[in-house]
Amino acid sequence: MYTTVPIPAYVNIPKLIGTKGRHLKYITGRSGCFFMWVDSHKKVVEIWGPDESMGLAIAGIKKRMSLLTRIWKMKHNVTYWESGNRVFYEIIGTVDETKREFDEICKRYPYNPYMTQIEEKTPTGLVVTRFSSCE
């Protein structure tokens, strides 16, 4: 059997794979599937194996993506959510912090021509930057 798992835009693909494929090899061995491959152009993880291994393989990949997502959110003070093919972000911090985070996200996804930004100041002096993008 063959299946794919989509990789969200905010997941760092090299960290998903791991050094020398460490994370994919671990998930492959634990799930009992034959083979996993990341297609970075399509942004999917491809999985081959027996039917009974697919559930464990998909769960393992999703668990790894969930961990990377939590780490990224804590590190960057960013909230985001998905709706269809759009990803919405919200950054709260000083003017410099929000600009730096916005610039970093734009650098990570330079192929994205649909980036829009809205900025507003809070009574406490912090800035809330909201923007969205299309995958």
For residue range 79-121, what is the model confidence (pLDDT) as tens digits?
766 666 667 777 777 777 777 777 777 776 655 555 666 677 7
Q: How far is CA 23 from the centre of its chain?
A: 16
Q: Which residues contact 77 (CB under 8 A, 6 or more apart)?
A: 91, 92, 93, 97, 101
Tell me which residue range forms the domain holding 56: 2-70
Do 36 and 10 fall into the same domain?
Answer: yes
Do 32 and 6 fall into the same domain?
Answer: yes
Do 100 and 65 fall into the same domain?
Answer: no
Q: How many domains does the structure of the chain reveal?
A: 2
pTM greater than 0.85:
no
Do 61 and 89 fall into the same domain?
Answer: no
Do 92 and 127 fall into the same domain?
Answer: yes
Q: Which residues contact 66 (CB under 8 A, 6 or more apart)?
A: none
